Structure 1
Amino acid sequence: MTVPGRRSSTFSRLLRHGFTDPSGAERLLDVPELSALRDDPVLLDALGATADPDLALRGLVRLVEAQPETERQTLTTTLLSAKPFRDRLLGVLGASEALADHLARHPRDWESLVTYEAADLHPGVAEFEQGLAEATDAVSLRVAYRRCLLAIAARDVCGTTDVAQAAAELADLATATLRAALAIARSAEPADAAMCRLAVIAMGKCGGHELNYVSDVDVIFVGEPSEGADEGKAIQAATRLASHLMRICSETTVEGTIWPVDANLRPEGRNGPLVRTLSSHLAYYQRWAKTWEFQALLKARAVAGDLELGAQYIDAVSPLVWQAAERENFVPDVQQMRRRVVANIPAAQVERELKLGPGGLRDVEFAVQLLQLVHGRSDATLHSGTTLDALAALAAGGYVGRADASQLDEAYRFLRAMEHRIQLYRLRRTHLVPEDEADLRRLGRSLGLRTDPVAELNREWKRHAAVVRRLHEKLFYRPLLDAVAQLAPGEIRLSPRAAGQRLEALGYADPAAALRHLEALASGVTRKAAIQRTLLPVLLGWFADSADPDAGLLGFRKVSDALGKTPWYLRLLRDEGAAAENLARVLSAGRLAPDLLLRAPEAVALLGDPEGLKPRGRDHLEQEVLAAVGRADDAEHAVAAARGVRRRELFRTAAADLIRSYGTEDNPREPDPGALVDRVGEAVTDLNAVTIAGALRAAVRAEWGEELPTRFAVIGMGRFGGHELGYGSDADVLFVHEPREGVDEQEAAKAANRVVAEMRRLLQLPTADPPLLIDADLRPEGKSGPLVRSLKSYEAYYRRWSLVWESQALLRAAPMAGDQELADRFIELVDPLRYPAEGLGEDAVREIRRLKARMESERLPRGADPTLHAKLGRGGLSDVEWTVQLLQMRHGWAEPGLRTTRTREALAAAHAAGLIPTEEAQTLDEAWVLATRVRNAVMLVRGRPGDTFPSDPRELAAVARYLGYEPGHVGEMVDDYRRITRRARAVVEELFYGA
């Protein structure tokens, strides 16, 4: 019974000791079973020191109530008299609801926490084997395992062991458990045990001696026949034993489960045999294994079964691990492994992911393991499977700065401690930081944060995650900078050979040149060099994530040299994260965009402006170009000014295309490739149109002042008229004029011809910019006909002489520059030709098919692969466009939607009109978009146009990255192109040829 007046003082004391439910705690303290404890102030102090005093008190009441009457006094007496035991027991009860449940089910197991001897403080495998020795089946093994786990958790929460020691003890307990489970399996099947030798190899965190409280235990099984036994039957027997071992540990019983045993890291994964001989393992690793498998083997450790056989396995595979960095596919494998760090995390969980999220545990482990693989081939001190030991060895060897290693060690320990305490609460496998306030409070208090546990926990977690995220990049590249800058002698002792190895492993084909660039950028004590040393660790990582890191670094050096004295340049990159990443992506993606940028380095500013990547409207561009032309002293300077605008805007377009194709933190990858193609086509078309308009104005001003004696217009044809130009496309045009009132026709024609000649001369002046070639070969009579005609001449020609191919070509005719009213009248003139009333006759259809077949046989370049030629090959641009154009000429008179110069728009209209089924329309559209993107990619990557995939491996890889393929998947890209265009060709055969 509660003494009157005592409640209020107890209530306040409970609040002071950290109880969140003091009323409930008072009721629990009043239960008869706690009569010997409730008035002792030592108990409240001890409860208040736990992570969750309310949870600890509830667990204590359950434990005391579960004791037999004869044992209850012993427990309470020990609790009050032995401080180490009291701290251990209450510490566990306040941190783990699951272990409190275990103690309530097995009330005598508290006695395992009483001993306090040297051997008990840091037990190893032998001590844990003793603790499991009496287990004879799966249920008793689970009980014994939890009893041992209880002692590990007690040492952990009381600070007797640190997080690394606790992880090592958990790995040792797992080792002892695997041995006990194998012993149980052998006793159940003695005949199998006699027939084979079976070694259990621990992998992952168990192999690395850094296990979690709740984790899969990754293993590999190696089997050999006993002397005189048949190998096939012995491996079958070993497989039965291994399967039984896995069931003993993994299956759920009335006592719960221990942990799943996962053998999926074995050769061929879950599709491969569970047990292999040593020679079979070696054959697989020597021939088929991927780089990530060697990375996994870095932690391999023989733990159970035939330890001699296990040691032979480790000795055999270790040399292969340390040769992995020399493998041909190491670089793309490394890049792919880097992406796996944050892959497959649900978006709603990424901010709470302690393991896989940015700045999480996997970042540390991956960084350390990669550096081990790179440098461990020549330095055996790096061959540890334990993350923190390996990190210390990397620092001692000069591969990582000591200050960086110290910060990373601290962050890793904190994050692992968080992970341990989160899992310990309910003994569930999770890496998510909880959202509930009470869970966060308990977690913070368990880590020693007591003033404001939730706020302090979030602050410390974010601080350590930020350190990891920063150092994840810095670990790879900062030592390189310190080595070449020579500002901190003795801090990092990375040799030129080691620096070259690191750069080579990360994809740099010319490490020596890369080191020279780094030295030029980062050496010295100037403010510029200091900012570069801040920027480069992250930039180098972005370069390494591309198909051509060397080009990215070289381009960055050139841009930095050009803008080095410009005050805003480095400040922009330092302060605007998006600008730096955008620049890195652009510089390492190919030749076109960097070449454009180096001709006008100030265009870097576009990359830091949120609006900078949006294309400018045609009207705005035309005003700028014509104003620049008007200010120029002569025609040559006028066209140079127009080209300057085109160069800048072409860079803007290419940069936006690359950034949206690759995806960055601020600009996610564009999910619709067709939208990218449309944006590029529209932007490049507008650029060429306004450049031609500028050349026209310059040519007129040079001889006639402000007005030409004849009205003059430029009509776009082909992809130009279709607003579908690529980066390397020519501009197909027709020139039309009409004499002004009172001007003689011959004089007007001479003026028109002179202005065309001058425009072509101006546009063909030598320049380092991508050329703008105007092609008038689609004019009446082709190359044999006059370059420019009057509107009346066009009308007479088309009325009398026009051929079906000319009508087809006019499907793309659209005004581009010059006199808009004249251009509109030209379009009115040609509409009846391109959309003939009642459609095409059969003779015309046959003629179009004949022309297409002739083009296929004659125009494909000799030696070109017809399955990979984007323009003229099977299912390529020509196939799709001729098919759509035939539909336009046959049905355009009746379907207004078909009266467009744009291919995709016409295809969509044909589908909407029921002229082409949905699946066929989608097939043609997909093939046309893909072929267009291939041509754009080739120009972006090589800096010159091309219709086929590049043969150079680096260029081909860059095209693949632009098209959205991960490193190492070039073959998949080519296969996909052939498959998509093959399907498109089948549609063309049906719709165009009527097959």
Structure 2
Amino acid sequence: MQISTRQLISSGFDDLKRAKRFLEDQELEGIDHAALVRHLAYAADPDQALLALIRIIPHAPAALDLAKNAPTAPGFLRLLGASDALANFLIRAPEALEIFEKPAPAEIVGRDGQQLRAQMLRAVGADPASGIPPVATVSGEEAYRTLRVAYRTALLSLAHRDLGAADALAAMPVVGRELADLAAAALDGALAISRAEAAGRFEAQDIAEVRLAVIGMGKCGASELNYVSDVDVIYVHSSEGLEEQLALGIARELATGISRAIDAPGIEPGLWEVDANLRPEGKDGALSRTLESHAAYYARWAASWEFQALLKARAIAGDAELGAAYEAMVAPLIWNSSEREGFVESVQRMRRRVTANIKPAELAHQLKLGPGGLRDVEFTVQLLQLVHGRIDETLRVRSTTGAIAALSLAGYIGRDDAAKFDDSYRFLRVLEHRIQLVNLRRTHQMPHKEYGQRVLARALRSTLGVELSTAAGLLARWGETKRLVRQLHERIFYRPLLSNASNLSADEVRLSPEAAQSRLRALGYIDPKAAMRHIEALTGGMRRRASLQRQLLPVLLGWIAEGVDPDAGLLGFRRLSESLGESHWYLGMLRDSKGAAERLCKMLSNSRFVTDLLEVSPESTAWLGDDKLLRPLSYEALSTEISSKLKRNLAPEQAIRLIRVIRRREILRIALADGAAVVDLEQMGRALADNDRAAVRGALEVAQRTEFAVNPQLGEFLVVAMGRQGGHEIGYCSDADVLFVQRAFDGADPQAAQEQAIRIATSLGPLLGRPMVPAIQAEPRLEIDAALRPEGKSGPLVRSLDAYAEYYRRWSQLWEQQALLRATPMAGSEELGVDFMALVDPLRYEQHMGPEQVTEIRRIKARVEAERLPRGAEPERHLKLGRGSLSDVEWLVQLMQLQHAKVHPELRTTSTLPALAAIAEAEIIPADEVELLEQAWSLASRIRSAGLICTGRISDVLPKSWRDMEAVARWCGYAPGEASVMEDDYFKATRRARQVFERYFYGFED
């Protein structure tokens, strides 16, 4: 029957001409070509499978029957299309075809390791049941061939079952375990051969006296071996009656013989390399050591990486009792290794070196060593095991998949992350297996050519749903996996918690009462008993939440203690944790985020204000794990959010509460961003001002809606920001200095419009200033202050635009002209805002400043210094009115603006720091002296805001108490214990700023 091109293409053939020619080969005479082609569709590479079938039939005619038989053909041809090397083995060992007489089961079942061992030993004529060390009855080339054929026959059986499994990812751990058991069995067979061969050099009795254990390392020790991999081993020997050098010589001969039996050239090719380079001192060390010699080396000389390698150590062959003794000897060394100084950092450096040493040409194709590859998973899992496994014995497992499951169950990795890690690891390992099967060569690279990728995709299509013959789907899945693994690796492998946890003793990590109280006192907790009650409340019970707290608290206690009030910080942490209850993200974020836990701990023990705000808004803790979430929202974003809520036609009380909740939420966001150094001083001030502006705009909308529901709208209304609010440089809980402007509609009664505007303006203060529920000590209310209006508190609360124009034309005083330097529209009518600024700009920027006006400003400033400074206050400590502090800098800046803004438009800004920059640019004051003013103003502003943040109290005075001073200093970026340094910096900065101020404001010379 002639096979059509369409049939060949649909079955996955690539070389159609060759396929047609091969189907006509005489070896396939009498076979149903159509059925064969349908069966060949099961093969990843149908072209290769067909060629292999034709090559095998002359050596094993039974192959033709397997290819004809519908039950056996899929599995047989699937194997031929997956592994050219195993197809060649069938030519050399046609008796192995009997493996395919039964179809592979859909769910793979691994073979028992002891059965495999017995099979290998019997193959070389050794007695597996003997109580003495097994010795082969054959040696040399014949023994090597027999062992290798037995190994490859078992490997063929496993590959048949693996390729036939319905879910290759689920089968992967079973496959890896059987491969490791098979390698161990081969080593036992090789050791039996080696003992037989050693008889030519040593006395048989002496050889029998030497007990040799083979310790599997790496993937073999972890029972997750590849199809082709170096088998890493360590040899340990023992003998009771032999002289030490003789025993060492025999052990070395036995170890050398093992490698020879496994990998020496021969009729049947070698299996894999036996690599003993992980032994003490590596290639320079003795090939085998006694147990005592191993113990002495690990106790004195071993590097951190060697303990990481020992995590996988498992006795796999040779003397079982000696192997078990080796395992018992190294176990405590492994699980205490993370206490070594710099352990975590050394593991992290090693991972970076592995990546750096990859050849650039190979990087894009690496499954194992490259970013997002197998090593990222393995290093991450092993580091977590080594750090936490010293006290948590459930983590003391060797296999990667088993370790991921244990880490997830105990809460060291989140369930979702663990599932992603596990799935990604299995996927990468299955890719590796399928690639290695082709030629049974040790490789970890994705095929470079599209054809190889398409074959690999077909090999995985039943598991991954990759479309037939498509490399694109495979590469997309691989790329997605690499990105996911790298993301998880970066987040988990570099956790600050790991490094800090490794520096604690086992008792400290266990939080045993005695060790905990002792450590709490050492850390600086004033009431260790109360702290222990908090710890017990957080860690008691068997739930996952308590388990996570037990992991976190040993490290968090140290970070909390770095603040000035550890006791308050721990109490705040307990309250916050209890408020968040079973929130799945909270403890996971603290565990996984690079900075969230440390940020939270230090803020809780340094800031009463932040702690109180977090207690009423605990969900905001999530922001600490992502700098993007900490970025303050823009005015536009806040206004949009408020407007959307007001569209719901809420009652005024509900509407204003939502506005104030949003404002309080954003103050918290800004405070957290401030404490985490995500925003600088200018950004903080602008963000707080934008937040207040949005709140005032929302409150104005509520007030107007209430008013207009009763009375028709009679005019436009405008709120103008003044003072530091207008300069966008406010601090936490600053008042909002404002002016109120109105303009009646054409035809409206001016007096009625004025009265309506007064009702609206009067309602704003109570709307924004009323207490919230739940309340906190330093409730961030927004006080509306209109004292900077014309005529001050004795003047009308609201004026019309025309009244302002008339007043400024006839009656305005110099201080009012100066105050207008900070004026900027805040809320209300945009058109009225434009007209008001057109009115005031000439007044503040274009007036002539003669000597009389300068003298008047100086006189007002001197009176402010004399009258407004609180009685008993120390001028050098007052942040606002003291010498060289905020007031001095701002008055000097405003004098320069009044004098020079007419000629230098760049001075026309409401903010202090941009104005100072413009003054330096215009060379009105030398840049170096402007820098002194900036330093003093910035430090005073920073300390002023930090005072409220840290103490929960509004104060304009540099603190005197050590605790408050220390907390403020840390919030301002000073190191622990540098409160006096901050104080000295402040005094120095303000003293220098005062000198500059006096020189240019009063005209004094040094």
TM-score (norm 1): 0.54
Measure how far apart 1:647 and its partner are: 1.1
Q: Which amino acid aligns with 1:815?
A: P
Alignment-derived partner of residue 760 in structure 2: 755
Q: Work out whether 1:766 is the aligned partner of 2:771.
A: yes
Q: Indicate if the aligned counterparts of 1:474 and 1:538 stay in contact, CA closer than 8 A.
A: no
Alignment-derived partner of residue 778 in structure 1: 788
Measure how far apart 1:900 and its partner are: 0.6
Q: Distance in 2 between matches of 1:404 and 1:955?
A: 49
Q: Distance in 1 between matches of 2:803 and 2:344?
A: 86
Alignment-derived partner of residue 730 in structure 1: 735
Alignment-derived partner of residue 676 in structure 1: 680
Q: Distance in 2 between matches of 1:437 and 1:686?
A: 46
Alignment-derived partner of residue 892 in structure 2: 883
Measure how far apart 1:415 and its partner are: 8.5
Alignment-derived partner of residue 866 in structure 2: 857
Q: Indicate if the aligned counterparts of 2:344 and 2:502 stay in contact, CA closer than 8 A.
A: no
Q: Work out whether 1:806 is the aligned partner of 2:791.
A: no
Q: Indicate if the aligned counterparts of 2:700 and 2:760 stay in contact, CA closer than 8 A.
A: yes
Q: Which amino acid aligns with 2:615?
A: L
Q: Which amino acid aligns with 2:560?
A: F
Q: Distance in 1 between matches of 2:345 and 2:640?
A: 61
Q: Does the C-alpha gap of structure 1 residues 540 and 749 become closer, same or farther in structure 2, counting only changes over 3 Å?
A: same
Q: Distance in 1 between matches of 2:771 and 2:330?
A: 55
Q: Which amino acid aligns with 2:692?
A: N
**Aligned pairs (5 A) from 1:65-84:** none
Q: Does the C-alpha gap of structure 1 residues 695 and 433 become closer, same or farther in structure 2, counting only changes over 3 Å?
A: closer
Q: Which amino acid aligns with 1:801?
A: W
Alignment-derived partner of residue 516 in structure 2: 499
The alignment partner of 2:782 has SS state of: coil
State which of 652, 665, 671 in structure 2 corresponds to 1:635: 652
Alignment-derived partner of residue 789 in structure 1: 799
Q: Which amino acid aligns with 1:649?
A: E
Alignment-derived partner of residue 742 in structure 1: 747
State which of 531, 534, 538 in structure 1 corresponds to 2:551: 534
Per-residue CA deviation, residues 738-777 of structure 1 (Å, 9 max, x unaligned), is 1112111110111011111111221222232311111111
Q: Work out whether 1:825 is the aligned partner of 2:839.
A: no
Per-residue CA deviation, residues 948-994 of structure 1 (Å, 9 max, x unaligned), is 23334333222111122111121111111111121111111112111
Q: What RMSD in Å do the two structures reach over aligned CA positions?
A: 5.1
Measure how far apart 1:581 and its partner are: 3.9
Alignment-derived partner of residue 17 in structure 2: none
Q: Distance in 1 between matches of 2:752 and 2:838?
A: 26
Q: Work out whether 1:698 is the aligned partner of 2:702.
A: yes
Q: Does the C-alpha gap of structure 1 residues 689 and 414 become closer, same or farther in structure 2, counting only changes over 3 Å?
A: closer
Q: Indicate if the aligned counterparts of 2:606 and 2:950 stay in contact, CA closer than 8 A.
A: yes
Q: Which runs of 5+ in 1 are unaligned?
A: 1-8, 10-39, 43-48, 50-79, 89-149, 169-209, 214-352, 360-401, 423-430, 441-450, 484-493, 661-669
Q: Distance in 2 between matches of 1:987 and 1:831?
A: 28
Alignment-derived partner of residue 439 in structure 2: none
Q: Which amino acid aligns with 1:814?
A: T
Q: Which runs of 5+ in 2 are unaligned?
A: 1-140, 142-199, 203-213, 215-243, 253-280, 309-328, 359-367, 388-496
Q: Distance in 2 between matches of 1:531 and 1:826?
A: 59
| Percent of pairs with identical residues | 44
Q: Indicate if the aligned counterparts of 2:513 and 2:532 stay in contact, CA closer than 8 A.
A: no
Per-residue CA deviation, residues 443-492 of structure 1 (Å, 9 max, x unaligned), is xxxxxxxx99xx99999987776535737426659756855xxxxxxxxx
**Aligned pairs (5 A) from 1:399-548:** 407-411=334-338, 467-468=386-387, 470=498, 472-473=500-501, 476=504, 479=507, 482=510, 494-496=512-514, 498-548=515-565
Per-residue CA deviation, residues 195-240 of structure 1 (Å, 9 max, x unaligned), is xxxxxxxxxxxxxxx7999xxxxxxxxxxxxxxxxxxxxxxxxxxx
Q: Distance in 1 between matches of 2:938 and 2:693?
A: 23
State which of 930, 940, 956 in structure 1 corresponds to 2:939: 930
Per-residue CA deviation, residues 867-895 of structure 1 (Å, 9 max, x unaligned), is 22211112111111111111100000111
Q: Distance in 1 between matches of 2:637 and 2:562?
A: 37
Q: Which amino acid aligns with 1:934?
A: I
Deviates more, 1:464-473 or 1:604-613: 464-473
Alignment-derived partner of residue 382 in structure 1: none
Q: Work out whether 1:685 is the aligned partner of 2:689.
A: yes
Per-residue CA deviation, residues 394-420 of structure 1 (Å, 9 max, x unaligned), is xxxxxxxx999865533467989999x
Q: Distance in 1 between matches of 2:290 and 2:715?
A: 94
Measure how far apart 1:630 and its partner are: 4.0
Q: Work out whether 1:716 is the aligned partner of 2:721.
A: yes
Q: Distance in 2 between matches of 1:743 and 1:434?
A: 76
Q: Does the C-alpha gap of structure 1 residues 157 and 514 become closer, same or farther in structure 2, counting only changes over 3 Å?
A: farther
Alignment-derived partner of residue 975 in structure 1: 984
Q: Distance in 1 between matches of 2:376 and 2:650?
A: 65
Q: Distance in 2 between matches of 1:869 and 1:815?
A: 30
The alignment partner of 1:612 has SS state of: helix
Alignment-derived partner of residue 448 in structure 1: none
Q: Which amino acid aligns with 1:825?
A: D
State which of 903, 927, 933 in structure 2 corresponds to 1:918: 927
Alignment-derived partner of residue 950 in structure 1: 959
Q: Does the C-alpha gap of structure 1 residues 531 and 461 become closer, same or farther in structure 2, counting only changes over 3 Å?
A: closer
Q: Distance in 1 between matches of 2:562 and 2:293?
A: 37
Q: Work out whether 1:991 is the aligned partner of 2:1000.
A: yes
Q: Does the C-alpha gap of structure 1 residues 471 and 934 become closer, same or farther in structure 2, counting only changes over 3 Å?
A: closer
**Aligned pairs (5 A) from 1:97-112:** none
Per-residue CA deviation, residues 496-528 of structure 1 (Å, 9 max, x unaligned), is 5x4322112113222222111111111012233
Q: Distance in 2 between matches of 1:404 and 1:561?
A: 38
The alignment partner of 2:628 has SS state of: coil
Q: Indicate if the aligned counterparts of 1:476 and 1:502 stay in contact, CA closer than 8 A.
A: no
Q: Indicate if the aligned counterparts of 1:642 and 1:694 stay in contact, CA closer than 8 A.
A: yes
Q: Indicate if the aligned counterparts of 1:709 and 1:748 stay in contact, CA closer than 8 A.
A: yes
Could you say which structure has the larger radius of gyration?
Answer: 2
Per-residue CA deviation, residues 684-739 of structure 1 (Å, 9 max, x unaligned), is 10111111111111111112139632210000000000000111311100001011
Q: Distance in 1 between matches of 2:769 and 2:682?
A: 28
Measure how far apart 1:926 and its partner are: 1.3
Q: Which amino acid aligns with 2:336?
A: D
Q: Which amino acid aligns with 1:817?
A: A
Q: Distance in 2 between matches of 1:933 and 1:886?
A: 24
Q: Distance in 1 between matches of 2:680 and 2:356?
A: 48
Measure how far apart 1:158 and its partner are: 6.5
Q: Distance in 2 between matches of 1:702 and 1:547?
A: 47
The alignment partner of 2:799 has SS state of: strand
Deviates more, 1:471-480 or 1:761-770: 471-480
Q: Which amino acid aligns with 2:688?
A: V
Measure how far apart 1:435 and its partner are: 5.6
Q: Distance in 2 between matches of 1:437 and 1:683?
A: 42
State which of 636, 645, 666 in structure 1 corresponds to 2:662: 645
Q: Distance in 2 between matches of 1:525 and 1:537?
A: 18
Q: Distance in 1 between matches of 2:897 and 2:521?
A: 54
Q: Indicate if the aligned counterparts of 1:692 and 1:817 stay in contact, CA closer than 8 A.
A: yes
Q: Does the C-alpha gap of structure 1 residues 988 and 495 become closer, same or farther in structure 2, counting only changes over 3 Å?
A: same
Q: Distance in 2 between matches of 1:165 and 1:618?
A: 67
Q: Indicate if the aligned counterparts of 1:720 and 1:731 stay in contact, CA closer than 8 A.
A: yes
Q: Does the C-alpha gap of structure 1 residues 651 and 411 become closer, same or farther in structure 2, counting only changes over 3 Å?
A: closer
Q: Work out whether 1:596 is the aligned partner of 2:600.
A: no
Measure how far apart 1:589 and its partner are: 3.0
Aligned length: 611
The alignment partner of 2:893 has SS state of: helix
